Structure 1
Amino acid sequence: MNDGTVDHHSMDDVNALRQFSRYFTRRVGALDDHYLGQDRPLGEARLLFEIGDGTSLRELRSRLTLDAGYLSRLVRSLTAQGLVEVSAHSSDSRRRLVRLTPAGRAEIEEQNRRADALAGSLLTGLTAAQRDELTSALAAARRLLRLAAVTVDLVDGAAPDARACLEAYAADLDARFPEGFDASALVRPEEVSGTAGAFFVAYEERRPVGCGALRRLAPGVGEIRHVWVHPDARRLGLARRLLDALEHAAAQRHLTVVRLDTHTVLTEARAMYLACGYAEIPRYDDNPYAGCWFEKRLAGTVPDAAGPRPAEG
């Protein structure tokens, strides 16, 4: 949803981030050909860490967004040093697997020891209170940088990633709802595609980590459905990003009000909707899983243009 451009009001923020990046990479020796005092640059050291207990070259390319040629050169170098070994997958000869050798595992243990020592040396000059402050600041920075790197993309409601997110969402609700959840209650692809609606998938490092759907209820009225974030990506602020995208899509479709419902056990969802300007309203649907109903009029709309409100009671 962001084209990557920066307006002049953001330049102070950009400069601050760049200054921190330059200082930190210099301070930890990221540009040194002998990273952490070992006989290899950061690229090779990081790749050893990412290989861990073993993975495929395809997964490494995707996770690290590395050029295939560059990755191959790194793997060849580590193989020549006796630190990794490459083999074919047992069920797919085209898929190459890479694992650490015993020497590679020993190298990782030493790398971790040195990294811990370096991190400890950076903290030595700080008081306990200052270390706590730094730890909190780093946690906030990591959370916000993760959120900034997530993309929220409009996809067809029948796309594989859309359906995979909905399957995970349904499984999540089935575990959390006392009565369980029937996946037949999910929106149909045609309800949230093209002119009928919208479906967004959130991606972190090319992995789907969230979704949300919009469908039309009546002239001028839309309904937001299935806002979900993977457990690994929660507490980043991603649900609000998805909600913003859905509201923007509603405005683009000339919908002047959006409604949604949620289960009573989803207290965090109810709190988010209230914080985002949604007001509780009487029941407007027959969703058996709903216990709270909400509505929000979109900015710049005519109050009476959204159609009739649900009946009281």
Structure 2
Amino acid sequence: MRPTTEPVAVDDVRVLRRFNRYFTRRIGVLDDHYLGQDRPLGEARLLFEVGDGASLRELRTRLGLDAGYLSRMVKALEAQGLVRVRVHPGDSRLRVAELTPAGRDEVTEQNRRANGLAEGLLSGLSPAQRGELTAAVTVTERLLRLAAITVEVVDGASRDARATLAAYAADIDERFPEGFDPAALVRPGEVSGRTGAFLVAYEEGRAVGCGALRRLAPRVGEIRHVWVHPGARRLGLARRILDGLERAAVERGYGTVRLDTHAALTEAQALYRACGYTEIPRYDENVYAAHWFEKRLARPGADGRAGNR
């Protein structure tokens, strides 16, 4: 599920492509001897990612590589004495790649050269300009991460749905002064099918967020358990999940959605207000709730424009 947005402007595409071409050339990505070492960027990056050890499955997901291509690179690095592969001690189905002493030495040298390249680039700028550049890079990384995350509708009883709900419950159990009882979580049947939906956000194959929608009353849906993994926060992902839940509500015929939140979740309250939710009187008996919100939804009109439902 991707956010519904205006078509991407041609100029925006052109600017991003121009930056990609300049940056890849500037840091030597196109050279078969990346950073002056005797290997292309792909092999150098694989050595870096192996680090203290990683399964081939994890490397394939993290780097977005085809299994056959990854296997060929690993074999090439094995033949050079830089990597060794063994069976995972706890799971015979997994193979784990580890750096040899020679491999660790090469990664150390790779890091030294990469740091030198970065310092060389930054040295041509004043301190104020360096601050401006690093701030811009931070924003760029955040937005590119958000752009790459997908939000998908999954069955409420699926493994990822239950895993993210468990993580949500553990998270708020620590934040609520009174703790949290997992028995208060939505049931799979409530958030599946024609009247409900369960959304999971994925980053590089990992589930990093969730949100649920269930029927509350005729033409009224309720949003529950909007959660983002700590490592994926401050990207704008909670807003993306909330938007997906609202669109799922419209698709299921709900003209209004409601939700509640705990007094301790001040950031959630700010998000809901920023997204057009209005605080209303208590509508449920949720013992963890201190604030209740409602939002009227819009749906595409007959002419394709948004119309109020």
TM-score normalised over the length of structure 1: 0.94
Match of 1:311 in 2: none
After TM superposition, give the deviation of residue 61 of structure 1 in Å.
1.0
User: Is the counterpart of residue 191 in structure 1 residue 198 in structure 2?
Assistant: no
Q: Distance in 2 between matches of 1:199 and 1:157?
A: 6
Q: Any unmatched runs of 5+ in structure 2?
A: 299-306
Other-structure match for 2:133: 134
CA shift, 1:3, in A, is 9.3
Q: Partner letter of residue 29 of structure 1?
A: G
Distance 1:10 1:90 in 2: 51
Structure 2 CA distance, aligned partners of 1:301 and 1:18?
Answer: 39
- Counterpart selection for 2:308 from 293, 301, 304: 301
Cα deviations across residues 254-285 of structure 1 (Å, max 9, x unaligned)? Answer: 11110000000000000000000001000000
- Tell me, what secondary structure is at the counterpart of 1:33? coil
Shift of 1:35: 0.1
Do 2:260 and 2:290's aligned partners in 1 also have CA atoms closer than 8 Å?
Answer: yes
Amino acid across the alignment from 2:54: T
Please give the residue correspondences for 1:1-313 in structure 2 after superposition, counting only pairs within 5 Å. 1-2=1-2, 7=7, 10-299=9-298, 300-302=307-309
**Alpha-carbon distance in 2 for matches of 1:16, 1:6:** 18
Runs of 4+ in 1 over 6 A off after TM superposition: 3-6
Q: Write the distance in 1 (CA, Å) between the matches of 2:138 and 2:146.
A: 12
Q: CA deviation at 1:301?
A: 3.0
Task: State the distance in 1 between where 2:3 and 2:242 align.
Answer: 19
| CA distance, structure 1, for counterparts of residue 92 and residue 219 of structure 2 | 54
- Asked whether the equivalents of residues 196 and 214 of structure 2 are also in contact (C-alpha less than 8 Å), the reply is yes
Distance 1:158 1:32, change over 3 A: same
Query: Which one-letter code corresponds to 1:238 in the other structure?
Result: L
1:91 and 1:140 map into 2 onto residues whose CA distance is 40
Deviation digits for residues 120-148 of structure 1 (CA, Å, limit 9, x no counterpart): 11111111111000000000000000000
SS at match of 1:194: coil
Q: What is the rounded CA distance, in whole Å, between the counterparts of 2:279 and 2:62 in structure 1?
A: 41
1:92 positional shift: 3.2
Identity across the alignment (%)? 71
Counterparts of 2:3 and 2:31 in 1: how far apart (Å)? 33
Change (3 A) 1:26 1:6: farther
1:32 shift after superposition: 0.6
Counterpart secondary structure, 1:145:
helix
Distance 1:276 1:5 in 2: 16
Distance 1:251 1:83 in 2: 55
8 A Cα contact 2:153 2:197, kept in partner: yes
The AA in structure 2 aligned to 1:59 is E
- Whether contact under 8 Å (1:190, 1:196) holds in the other structure is no
Kindly state the Cα deviation for residue 22 of structure 1 after the two structures are TM-superposed.
0.6
Residue 304 of structure 2 is matched in structure 1 by none
Deviation track 1:192-229 (CA, whole Å, cap 9, x = no partner) reads 00012011000000100000000111111110000000
Give the partner amino acid of 1:294.
F
How far did residue 104 of structure 1 move?
A: 0.6
Q: Distance in 2 between matches of 1:6 and 1:18?
A: 19
Following the alignment from structure 1 to structure 2, what is the Cα–Cα distance between the partners of residues 217 and 174? Answer: 25
Alignment check: 8 A CA contact 2:197 2:212 kept: yes
CA spacing shift, 1:54–1:239, aligned 2, 3 Å: same
Structure 1 vs Structure 2 CA RMSD: 1.4
CA contact (8 A) 2:3 2:243 kept: no
* Aligned twin of 2:301: none
Q: Secondary structure at the match of 2:85?
A: strand
Rounded to whole Å, the distance in 1 between the matches of 2:6 and 2:104 is 43
Unaligned segments of structure 1, at least 5 residues: 303-313
Cα offset for 1:95? 1.8
Kept in 1, the 8 Å contact 2:3–2:240? The answer is no
Instruction: From the superposition, tell whether residues 2 and 196 of structure 1 become closer, same or farther in structure 2 (CA, over 3 Å).
Output: closer
Give, in angstroms, the shift of residue 91 of structure 1. 3.5
Secondary structure at the residue paired with 1:287?
Answer: coil
Counterpart residue type for residue 282 of structure 1: P
Q: 1:96 Cα deviation (Å)?
A: 1.1
User: Would you say the 8 A contact 1:57–1:97 is kept in 2?
Assistant: yes
Offset of residue 6 of structure 1: 8.6
Q: Which amino acid aligns with 2:123?
A: T
Partner of 1:289, secondary structure, is coil
